[in-house]
């Protein structure tokens, strides 16, 4: 009985790991996440993506000899480890695109400064 439950949970986690990167990299125009988006991200997406990062790292280690022979070692690292890592750790809470939230504010301030300098 426990073996069937364990297999079911493993299958669900595998399906989530495969489908979540697409949701994490979806581009939206609004990057001011709501409380619900932040809560969902913290409770569901981050743990699943952490598991995806660990599973991807394991798959990368197993497949790295074949990637070296095939000439796509860096690409396999980016897809299996880099992408899930960025989605898990280098993304503001509730945001859909990887990157730091303060980078956006800093870029907007720089754009405003450039506009002010050209207006003067």
Judged against a pLDDT cut of 50, whether residue 28 lies above it is answered with no
Per-residue pLDDT band for 26 (boundaries 50, 70, 90) equals very low
**Chain center to CA of 73:** 20
**pLDDT at 109 (0 to 100):** 62
Nearest 5°: CA angle at 42, between 86 and 76? 25
**pLDDT at 29 (0 to 100):** 41
In a domain, 86, yes or no: yes
pLDDT tens digits along 34-65: 889 889 999 999 999 999 999 999 999 999 99
The number of residues making up the chain comes to 120
Task: Name the token pair of 32.
Answer: 């001011």
In a domain, 60, yes or no: yes
| Torsions phi, psi for 94 (to 5 deg) | 90, -10
Structural domains of the chain, count: 1
CB 63 within 8 A of CB 76: yes
Largest CA distance in the chain: 75
Domain that holds residue 81: 51-90
């Amino acid at each position: 009985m426990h073996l069937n439950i364990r297999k079911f949970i493993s299958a669900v986690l595998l399906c989530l790991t495969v489908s979540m990167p697409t949701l994490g990299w979806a581009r939206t125009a609004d990057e001011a996440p709501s409380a619900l988006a932040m809560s969902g991200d913290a409770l569901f997406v981050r743990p699943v993506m952490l598991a995806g990062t660990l599973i991807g790292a394991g798959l990368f280690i197993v497949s790295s000899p074949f990637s070296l022979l095939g000439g796509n070692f860096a690409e396999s690292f980016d897809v299996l480890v880099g992408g899930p890592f960025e989605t898990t750790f280098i993304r503001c809470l509730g945001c859909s695109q990887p990157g730091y939230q303060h980078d956006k504010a800093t870029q907007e301030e720089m754009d405003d400064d450039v506009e002010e300098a050209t207006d003067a």
